[in-house]
Amino acid sequence: MRELAPAKLNLCLLIGPPREDGRHELISLMVSITLCDSLELRDGERDEVHCPGLVGPNLVEEAIAGFRAATGWEGPPQRIEIIKRIPVAAGLGGGSADAAAALRLLARRSGRGGRALLLELAARLGSDVASQLEPGRCVVRGGGERVERIADGPPLGVLVLPSAATLSTAAVYREADRLGSPRSAEALAALDPLRVGAVNDLAAAALSLEPTIAAALERARAAGAREAIVAGSGPTVIGLFDQWQAAARAAAQLAEQGVVAIAARPFPRSAAALC
């Protein structure tokens, strides 16, 4: 069984104060894009995850263990193989996307796990997992566990500029707290994510930790992007275009200059329905 794991793009990311559970209150307008990892699930000798180039514990292993514990499924050991295309520790939610895809695969394999249970499991795994359980466009609130699916937006082209650097999400949030940038709970609650535009409250913290982001933002603007933003907690930079073709031309031109660039678009609902 195979499954795509689309990256996520925060079209806006508004951050409030930290909560008792360590997460921050947030509001985000998110969209899945066509930059995807792929996962394959098959019976194995033990529950395990294989992803070339990545070592150590990961969210997919936690997803398998959590799914078994929550559903009581005692089916055969499962091996999940991941082909990574989403940059790691880049602000694009690659690890969360993989965990969400793993939950979808396990639900199909076992015949267990309704939507409510999968959302509960996803929220336990991480703040981005619940929003990526059903690829598409959504508004996310709370600590990432409150997900409201919304209709597709206008046409969008996405220019992805990966970075050679990586940033820990936890480190970026700590830096945001140090800088004093998170909004008050009252100010956060008053904002409409569909109206604020391309705002990322973690951008200043990401720039503080990785100053090379500034040059990438300028590169995206110079390539013709109408907006250039930091992706999530960074360090990836995103350029937004009104049409995918414009993003594809910009990516091709940058590639001719030796710059790594990827063109993407919103992940189609027709494909999401198969996930």
Give Dmax (Cα) for the chain.
55
Q: Are residues 32 and 80 in the same domain?
A: yes
Instruction: Return the pLDDT at 127.
Output: 85
Which residue, of 128, 151, 174, is where some domain finishes? 151
Q: How many Å apart are CA 103 and CA 45, to the nearest integer?
A: 19
- Domain range holding 243? 157-269
Judge whether 19 lies within some domain.
yes
269 pLDDT above the threshold of 70? no
Q: pLDDT (tens digit, 9 = 90+) per residue, 78-107? A: 999 999 999 988 999 999 999 999 999 999
- The answer to whether the beta carbons of residues 119 and 132 sit under 8 Å apart is no
Instruction: Return the pLDDT at 89.
Output: 85
Q: Are residues 27 and 137 in the same domain?
A: yes
Q: Which residues are the active-site residues?
A: 8, 128
Q: Are residues 21 and 122 in the same domain?
A: yes
**Distances 131 to 8, 102, 191, 224, 254 between C-alpha atoms, Å:** 9, 14, 19, 30, 31
Judge whether 86 lies within some domain.
yes
Give percent above pLDDT 90 in the chain.
Answer: 89
Judge whether 195 lies within some domain.
yes
Q: What is the CATH number of the domain that holds 92?
A: 3.30.230.10
Q: pLDDT (tens digit, 9 = 90+) per residue, 12-41? A: 999 999 998 888 999 999 999 999 999 999
Judge whether 275 lies within some domain.
no
Q: pLDDT (tens digit, 9 = 90+) per residue, 215-257? A: 999 999 999 999 999 999 999 999 999 999 999 999 999 999 9
Judge whether 274 lies within some domain.
no
Q: Are residues 210 and 175 in the same domain?
A: yes
Q: Are residues 45 and 70 in the same domain?
A: yes
Q: What total number of domains does the chain contain?
A: 2
Which residue, of 123, 151, 179, is where some domain finishes? 151
